[in-house]
Amino acid sequence: MGLGDKHQASLITRGLAETARLGVALGADPYTFSGLAGLGDLVATCGLAAVRNHRFGNLLGTGRTVAEAQAQVRQDHRGREVLLVPC
């Protein structure tokens, strides 16, 4: 996304806080988000360009449609279904 390291860290931190808040509201154990399933997955997804979810999200963030991003990533990726759920 072209952000510097500090901006990326801020965005990841905010993402973790919001994900944890949503998870707890839906009944999850708050400690889940500080382990591999939470922080570990978030760091991998946000920080490693080779991760399919990172590539998929990056394509969406640069204006591609869901269909275009799916065609380019060509792997199963979590999150597509979330995009299709009305908030």
Q: Is pLDDT at 32 greater than 50 in this prediction? A: yes
pTM over 0.75: no
Name the pLDDT band for 21 (thresholds 50, 70, 90): very high
**Residues 6-22, mean pLDDT to the nearest whole number:** 87
Query: Is the distance from CB of 66 to CB of 60 less than 8 angstroms?
Result: yes
Two tokens, residue 40: 């570990």
pLDDT digits (tens, 9 = 90+) for 42-58: 887 777 777 787 788 88
Residue appearing with tokens 């965005």: 11
Picking from 52, 35, 42, the residue whose alpha carbon sits closest to that of residue 8 is 42
For residues 21 and 29, give the distance between their C-alpha atoms in angstroms, rounded to a whole number.
Answer: 10
pLDDT digits (tens, 9 = 90+) for 71-80: 888 776 555 5
